[in-house]
Amino acid sequence: MAYITQAHAADHPTVWNRVSSFFAMVGRAMTMSSAMDARMQRVEALNSKTDAELAEMNLRREDITAYVFRDLMHL
């Protein structure tokens, strides 16, 4: 008969695991925020173009947001 006397680390996270998880979460949030800022700057840049400039890009003003966020919206 065998007895298991050790607990798995995954069952009982250490203080280090909790601290590193927290900082990983903060890092992901900062990365996401930076990515969204860049996208919003792109939207603003496209909105500042004239309708003729947008037409040269085959883009309508009402489609700018969908164009910039197309990979997130799966359009």
Q: Say which residues have a Cβ less than 8 Å from residue 61's Cβ, sequence separation at least 6.
A: 47, 51, 54
Counting DSSP H helices and E strands in the chain, the numbers are 4, 0
Averaged pLDDT, groups of 10, the chain, 75 residues long? 61 82 91 88 96 96 93 71
pTM passes above 0.75: no
Q: Say which residues have a Cβ less than 8 Å from residue 13's Cβ, sequence separation at least 6.
A: 21
